[in-house]
Amino acid sequence: MTLSARELAFTLQRSSHPKSEAERAAILANPGFGDYFTDHTAIVDYRVDANGDGGWHNARIEPYGPIAMDPAAAVLHYGQEIFEGLKAYRHADGSVWSFRPEANAARFNTSARRLALPELPAETFLESLRQLVSVDQDWVPSGDGEALYLRPFMIATEAFLGVRPAREVSFRVIASPAGNYFGGELKPVSIWLSNSYARAGEGGTGEAKCGGNYAASLVAQMEAEAQGCKQVLFLDPFNDNAIEELGGMNIFFVFKDGRIVTPKLNGHILHGITRASVMQLAADRGMHVEERKITIDEWRDGVAAGDITEAFACGTAAVITPIGELKTADGVIASPGSGAGEVTMAIREQLLGIQTGVVEDLHGWLTRLV
């Protein structure tokens, strides 16, 4: 029997071989990013019945482990999958909170609609986070800049080779203790400008958070790393080389007259939750926030004229990272000074402060998980 979202109750099967306290402590001492995983996973199944009616059922917490999958599973052949990324933060009193998970739930369903996957009720999405973090709460780190990274994802598991939306789907959440995304002390990063590749196109899946977008960015990311850069920047060559986003982050520019500018959402660009939060916090500081087309020429000329004083990237994993320079085939666009500008760092500290509970949450962005 398929139950409605409000009736779904998670069952719990505890791992028979969880990491020992000593093993977990060793991992938490240096978690890295995406290198280690907690003892359990959350799962909810979806199936379309003989009458064509679909529904979610069998919500559960199970031991973390390999996924048994038929070789003909649709996700392996047609890439029908989506995912999200968010963090759980340990506060000073030991409680664990997440930052704007309702926005992640909404974006997850936006992605689901684009990839012809079933929408997951927001309450089920949120409950899966609560259930998993509750059973694995000892994995939530408490060091500076650390959190438990949560990865909800949905994959098409029906075994068939016809080209149509799958009728069997699995929603899952895994968790990974995470340190600073770029490692160690926060420093301005170097970015490589890709002239050969595009991240997304008109009418494509740029707004969806799906693996294909990231797979398409990897060859450009390898090119960036060969140039000594941490990330790659993509342009829209059919729109005056308008700046779009990085391989995994949105981008902002700070102008000396108090404006803060980010590329306008256009169907190609992911609706970043950190992006939206930065815009709100900048507005709270009295800055004029602009979502508009900004070209690579405007960046180059703005830095040269002293009009653009800071540039930074933002996303769930890295939060906010100052950009020190943009390397291109034609030269370098360097941020003034060290690149870690005053506005960048002030917004970063405020955002991290809200997430970790040391700065007042005036917008009701925090949701307690444990």
Residue among 249, 357, 319, 273 at smallest CA distance from 101: 273
Instruction: Answer whether 81's CB lies under 8 Å from 213's CB.
Output: no
Instruction: Name the phi and psi angles at 60, rounded to 5.
Output: -160, 160
Write out the two tokens for 150: 């949560």
How far is CA 138 from each of CA 18, 38, 134, 148, rounded to the nearest angstrom?
11, 9, 9, 10
CA–CA dist 83, 4 (Å, integer): 22
CA dist., res. 140 & res. 175, Å (int): 9
Q: What is the pLDDT of residue 2?
A: 41
150: nearest Cα among 40, 3, 230: 40
Rounded distance between C-alpha atoms, residue 133 and residue 90, angstroms: 11
What is the token pair recorded at 137? Answer: 């709460």
pTM: 0.95
| C-alpha pair distances (Å), 119 with each of 44, 56, 160, 288, 307 | 12, 10, 21, 36, 44
- How many residues are there in the chain? 370
The 3-state secondary structure of 151-214 reads EEEEEECCECCCCCCCCEEEEEEEEEEECCCCCCCCCCEEEEECCCCCCCCCCCCCCCCCHHHH
pLDDT tens, the chain, 370 aa long: 344 445 799 999 999 999 999 999 999 999 999 999 999 999 999 999 989 999 999 999 999 999 999 999 999 999 999 999 999 999 999 999 999 999 999 999 999 999 999 999 999 999 999 999 999 999 999 998 899 999 999 999 999 999 999 999 999 999 999 997 766 567 899 999 998 898 888 899 999 999 999 999 999 999 999 999 999 999 999 999 999 999 889 999 999 999 999 999 999 899 999 999 999 999 999 999 999 999 999 999 999 999 999 999 999 988 999 999 999 998 999 876 666 899 999 999 999 999 999 999 999 999 999 9
